[in-house]
Structure 1
């Protein structure tokens, strides 16, 4: 039940004076919500200093300024397109006010010669003189009129003015309870010089003065509140898991050594460290919830195979869930190659399996004769049952929702869960993205991986690129060709158009895959390329992750300047998986902007996914980089990860401290955490 003190904040928009049936849907569109609290969370984007300058001479071109001066002259327009002009003078300088298509009589009434006026607006330069076009405010100081010293500026939508949004936000402040307890650590508040929660909202929506430090501290305070709300939700989920019982799956050193000795290469130190962390988790009686995060080609599959061996060698079953049939088949083939020689039975279960073959797999899972199964969402269908499922492995975890993961976990009583992602993220964001999971990172590449040579090529040389691809195909190699769009009439860099052109130019079987195709059609196109039935695959970014074709040595990306840096890195990771030299050709349309040039230069300089993720974060901010939107990392209402990432770790420690001492949140501090969670985690579903 919601705390009654919060009822006024969760009243709908039409509870505000002046909001009726027409304005209510406009506010809903603006805020993405329905309540007074949603409007208060629509924070100003900036604040304008409207304090009156000492002199006109103090104003700066390109900045908003408020000045006082005597009306010196009025000049009527000399043509329909020229403005009315009024000149103010304050003894230090002149300011020209320009009004286009204005009523002359109204202007002369507003600006009588010899009278003082206060005006506020953007200072521009015109023909060497200061000018202000259509001032935001015109006031008579003799009447005591002054503009607000500081004016919050909001993001808007059609049908709303800044003045209207501000007035409604100020009205909404009255709904913030005065008796809310303090949920943040008092010592932290003191050391950071933060205002109270209520005061922070007032400082942002209704500031009494222009003070940039005050705005920053108020925003930081609210960002911490949001971080604390989320981290307390995650801490409660972890505490709940710790109270549940899972089967302890002890390490089997003999089976692990047998797997390592069967490999034609030596596992990296990062792989061994990650497996040691996973193995220790699986040995406990609380359910493991661990993320295995690694760069393209860092060897996540081997680590997951080690975990599967630990389960299978002690009488438990392991299930690997992948987002597509092609990826599930790849997982099956890799696991089968690694583990069948060691005596383990590996199977695949996807939508492709029908009748007798499917029944045989279902029976093997039910009677325990199948140790490891790789599959798609088919794994959590009602007809699938396991004899003793102990480990769930989710590949490309950001492609699955929490509900999907839980459906598969529901096939047993609290199985251990390992989720994997080939999407490196900046370490500063790890807590934002994976706050509910323990994280193991693979930050080394296996020995022997051939670096991919990356080149940026203007699209004026596209014919040379086509010829180079043709030569590679004749040597028995294969190529990816990525286009930014499926099919747009006014743009030639489309998958459909390029597929037709390359089929005509190269005279070889060319595959096509894009997001508008049905899943079965996409799987067929990817499988044809993987099996060599097509020699070049034209695609959109649907091939960004997971597709493993060792014979593919060339990745061509058209209009590369339009892709995110991390996305380009993921696409590049589709090649360089065999023992032949591989190339990534970034076709761009000149001239390049500064950010695009930095992006392509970074990609050419390094193959380190974590370094690339950091660079992408600096260039673009969190946005939807690396699929973080799907992962739930960018649904913050207040936090700006570029500025506030450090608050997440502090909030994590604070939340865990409170939850460990008061797991029911029944004490004074715990009950206050309930309030902030209700305010700032309304849409969060922490995995359990």
Structure 2
């Protein structure tokens, strides 16, 4: 149960003054639905109103706070003309300018003959200083309230800085000092303030430095978040490890049969990974291992050989993919490899209904099906296994920590191997997979040719569209990826439709289209037509990022490549170069290219190593952007900024090791405070893994 001291922070944001049902809908998009989410929304800039020169000394385009005497109102003659108010001080005149003004309101605010304090941005117009729509207007005794430093927050349509600022002030009023969860010596060494003090300071920057990631209040808050993250992962890991495993060893017969029938030899990395997996399985502990390998590095074969260890030991194994297409692809790869063995794999996806589904479930329940391949349909409640020993999860990032545990609950002591083709920088590995051991596949299978990556201006698009005719004539299959439009699916789909129409006018029925709003079956049909060669050109939004294996596809064209993250470009490029033919990737960019955009495209041209690319991506864009955290299942930090806070992450990991050695059930005074921290960062589920409490 969440501690009572945190109840006020987990009330809905509509409990804040000024946040009604309408505003809350907009606000939730950028903050979240609870008051605590608003607290984590830190300012990105500030407006300093402390500068108070005389009128004659006010510099152009600067925010100033002035004391002026109001001379005369000049109402506008028509709707379009501005309403002006002339005023002055002892050094000269000035105009206040208002558009669409209400005269009666302005006369009340700025009465002729009286002194007023005004604050806003000034500029010179035909030699006279003017201020358009002052931000603040007040009486002389309100000078101190006006002459402040105002935080400026990241906003979304429908939410103004005024509304956001008011909500945040309201949220800060709801905080109380929480019991200290930091190690006292570490806190003192870092010179960090208390939690509540740090929040107040972070929301009230006074100088430029206060907005930096290394300011003391921001560092303290980032560390709190990283500590909660590392503690949660350590508790999950301990729970999985604690649940006794069983030693799984096979006689190697099935594996030898498969190895003998493979048309290639395994790479050194594959052999190394299999050795590590075998060692894990033979231990009487649960395996929790991540297999990281670039697209085309041969993870499926490693998955199959791992599954066979469990099957040789008389158990069942499952291989789970995030989408139906991928599940069927695994089945297509694995079924022929098993053809000479006594094993017949079954596949279960959401599409299997009625009698067919019942039959599959029965084969799984009786143990007749030793290997099941499928989507998350494998984890629905009505799926029972006779003796599940191993689960392999592909493209783990759709699958969070808690699903890893749910899955392990499908059998006694299930060992888990998770696979991802998304190269993840080491720093982020700690935040998402700190509970796992890691194996990496570093080579590509023998015979794969490097991909020729070229960077070209978008102005050449017409030439590219016409030149692919020659490639089609030679039997090439081509992916054409349309621009990413962050703000709107509609625009993205419209762009894809337009490109599809254009290419269809050139190549007729040989062109197909897939986008995210199509139904699963429609998408599958187009993908299948592309895989079988019924169509030669597949126009797509990024839905093809993780997916179909089409060895004949040798050309990848990406429009507005500068809008994509490095990891995404790398994933897309990984769709080609899977056969033995030479492949080409064209990155079309819109000018002018930012420095960052240039750097990203250069890295793509220079290397195909996913791990190098991932590290560069993190350096260039920071963790929030890398891999598009929303899709990648990497935690989205609100306060920590990686890589700026990388050292804090390492410190948090060491701190957690020590905490759990000295106080494994978090029963001490600091332990109880750490439980509050877990609840504060909504790691509620992990608190359940503690024996007491």
1:396 and 2:406 correspond: no
Distance in 2 between residues matched to 1:23 and 1:168, nearest whole Å:
11
Q: After the TM superposition, which of the residue ranges 145-154 and 77-86 deviates more from structure 2?
A: 77-86
Please list the CA deviations of residues 418-472 of structure 1 after superposition, one character each: whole Å capped at 9, or x if unmatched. 1211112333322233344333333443343211112234455445434443333
Deviation at 1:161, TM superposition (A): 5.7
1:569 and 2:570 correspond: yes
Aligned length: 678
Matching residue of 1:318: 317
Change (3 A) 1:269 1:666: same
Matching residue of 1:284: 283
Q: How does 1:643-662 map to 2 (within 5 A)?
A: 643-662=644-663
Q: Is 1:493–1:558's contact at 8 Å kept on the other side of the alignment? A: no
Matching residue of 2:3: 3
Q: Is 2:229–2:431's contact at 8 Å kept on the other side of the alignment? A: no
1:23 and 2:20 correspond: yes
Matching residue of 1:100: 98
Q: After the TM superposition, which of the residue ranges 604-613 and 591-600 deviates more from structure 2?
A: 591-600
Matching residue of 1:671: 672
Matching residue of 1:307: 306
1:547 and 2:562 correspond: no
Distance in 2 between residues matched to 1:530 and 1:685, nearest whole Å:
43
Matching residue of 1:151: 150
Please list the CA deviations of residues 171-208 of structure 1 after superposition, one character each: whole Å capped at 9, or x if unmatched. 54343234x3210122221222210001112223457x
Structure 2 residue runs without a partner (length 5+)? none
- Please point out which of 182, 194, 197 is paired with 2:195: 197
Please list the CA deviations of residues 555-613 of structure 1 after superposition, one character each: whole Å capped at 9, or x if unmatched. 22344444433322212111111111111223455555555444434323322223333
TM value normalised by structure 2: 0.83
Distance in 2 between residues matched to 1:54 and 1:37, nearest whole Å:
39
Q: How does 1:252-651 map to 2 (within 5 A)?
A: 263-338=262-337, 340=339, 343=341, 345-351=343-349, 365-366=364-365, 368=367, 370-380=369-379, 384-400=383-399, 408-484=407-483, 494-506=495-507, 509-588=510-589, 592=593, 595-623=596-624, 625-641=626-642, 643-651=644-652
TM value normalised by structure 1: 0.83
Change (3 A) 1:266 1:74: farther
RMSD, aligned CA: 4.3
Matching residue of 2:185: 187
Distance in 1 between residues matched to 2:660 and 2:185, nearest whole Å:
18
Q: Is 2:567–2:617's contact at 8 Å kept on the other side of the alignment? A: yes
Q: Is 1:346–1:370's contact at 8 Å kept on the other side of the alignment? A: yes
Q: Which secondary structure state, in structure 2, belongs to the residue aligned with residue 515 of structure 1? A: coil
Distance in 2 between residues matched to 1:23 and 1:488, nearest whole Å:
28
Q: After the TM superposition, which of the residue ranges 561-570 and 664-673 deviates more from structure 2?
A: 561-570
Structure 1 residue runs without a partner (length 5+)? none
Q: Which secondary structure state, in structure 2, belongs to the residue aligned with residue 626 of structure 1? A: coil
Please list the CA deviations of residues 468-514 of structure 1 after superposition, one character each: whole Å capped at 9, or x if unmatched. 43333333332223334899999997444544554553356444433
Change (3 A) 1:638 1:60: farther
Change (3 A) 1:192 1:529: same
Matching residue of 2:176: 177
Q: Which secondary structure state, in structure 1, belongs to the residue aligned with residue 644 of structure 2? A: helix
Distance in 1 between residues matched to 2:498 and 2:148, nearest whole Å:
57
Q: Which secondary structure state, in structure 1, belongs to the residue aligned with residue 419 of structure 2? A: strand
Please list the CA deviations of residues 16-49 of structure 1 after superposition, one character each: whole Å capped at 9, or x if unmatched. 6x56xx7365346425555543443343333333
Change (3 A) 1:60 1:646: farther
Q: After the TM superposition, which of the residue ranges 53-62 and 470-479 deviates more from structure 2?
A: 53-62
Distance in 2 between residues matched to 1:354 and 1:5, nearest whole Å:
49
